[in-house]
Structure 1
Amino acid sequence: MSTRRTRSSRTGAVAVALATGLVLTLSGCSGEDGPSRNGGSSSQAQGSGEGDSAPEGGAEKEVQVEVEGPSGILIRLYAPERDSGGFLTVRGELENTGDEDFYQMSPWSGDEPEVVEHGSSLGGAKLVDTQGKKRYYVLRDTEGRPLCTMLPNGLSAGKTLPIYAQFPAPPKDTKKIDFQLPGWPSATVEIAE
């Protein structure tokens, strides 16, 4: 009996978390600020970048690590945060510090056909727990869409784009985790308490 209740509770928690992630993903892709499929980029990617990195509530987050990737693109990551549903959310921002617009973001989606068919995203990101010797992949909704930032067609020179990706949470005793994105050096971040 207690096993059945536990499974039911876990299933309910997972369903709620996935539904929440789907709502966040869909709301991020809807309206005029969402990514355009016709060759343009979102107004969010074209904006000033001011305040784009602010979390809910408007408070600024401290950048924990900055990694340089291809063509002058920087990724800045804040401390990943656990939530009560057993998930870990990594937030940060991409900035194009180069002199030219950047259009090579599709490799960051990874190579899973179910993820790639939904467009460019951070779906290829992984978390590596070197202490626990486990690898965690971006969560997917019931239709295979990754629970992460859906990327615009390009990032203009000098512009910043807020990003996020949601993963299963590693055990509570794991304090640091390596964030990996295809084509980028690994970045070690400390999980927020």
Structure 2
Amino acid sequence: MALTVSLTACGSGDGGGKDDAATSSAAPGEDKSKDDDGGTTVPDTSQTLATINGDEGIQLVVHTAVRDEAGFLTVTGTLKNTTSQRVTVPISWNGDENQVRRTGRSLAGMTLVDKQEKKRYFVLRDTEGHPLTTTGISTFKAEESFTVFAQFPAPPDSTSQVDLLMPTMPAATIEIS
């Protein structure tokens, strides 16, 4: 399992570097959705599974929740600052685990809840403890947006919906494809 997670992390299309910022699908201050070169790191924004409005004008638009054959579920979306002011990302988005805190800013606090199976899924980690999610976002400029992703263990095939929970934001039910 650890080898599979490690290989998945290495195959994310980020150039294979170990730098936390390199694993981010969008560096702070950059909106990668405008630079779509046909690669797989840009989420398919043609669909919206959920729109979650959080504190201080931060909005998460969930575009996809895709289960793959290797047993992983990848959630993609867009985080937006809907205000005309600079917004600081809540520290709780990093997660509570000591190992994840050491890796810097991330979305490792995001979880999925499978109400049918009564299980909670956390963002996967690589063999060095880095979360398999977007990293490096600490503030949003006015009306700035970032493309984001998070990878989880996939719920059983019989589960078609999960609740996505992001600290400081309300829960949203999303469909798995």
Deviation at 1:110, TM superposition (A): 1.2
One-letter code aligned to 1:114: Q
CA distance in 1, matches of 2:154, 2:4: 16
Specify which of 11, 16, 27 is matched with residue 4 of structure 2: 16
Give the greater-gyration-radius structure (CA).
1
- Stretch of structure 1 that moved more, 21-30 or 167-176: 21-30
Q: Find the residue that maps to 1:174 and give its secondary structure.
A: coil
Instruction: Say which SS state the counterpart of residue 124 (structure 1) adopts.
Output: coil
1:92 aligns with 2:92: no
Tell me the TM-score normalised to structure 1 length.
0.77
Question: Which ranges of structure 2 fall in alignment gaps of 5 or more residues?
Answer: none
Shift of 1:57: 8.7
- The CA distance in 2 between the partners of 1:23 and 1:57, in whole Å, is 11
State the AA in 2 paired with 1:176: Q
Deviates more, 1:166-175 or 1:152-161: 152-161
8 Å contact 1:129–1:135 — kept in the other structure? yes
* Residue deviations 1:106-162 (CA, integer Å, cap 9, x gap): 210111110011111011111000011111111111111111010323111111101
CA distance in 2, matches of 1:55, 1:157: 27
The percent identity for this pair of structures is 35
CA RMSD of aligned residues (A): 2.9
In the other structure, the counterpart of 2:149 is 164
Q: Which moved more, 1:109-118 or 1:97-106?
A: 97-106
Q: Which residue of 18, 22, 34 corresponds with 1:51?
A: 34
Q: How many residues align?
A: 173
Q: Which residue of 1 aligns with 2:91?
A: 106
More strand by share: 2
1:136 to 121, 128, 133: 121
The structure richer in helix per residue is 1
C-alpha separation between the residues in 2 aligned to 1:73 and 1:57? Answer: 22
TM-score by length of 2: 0.84
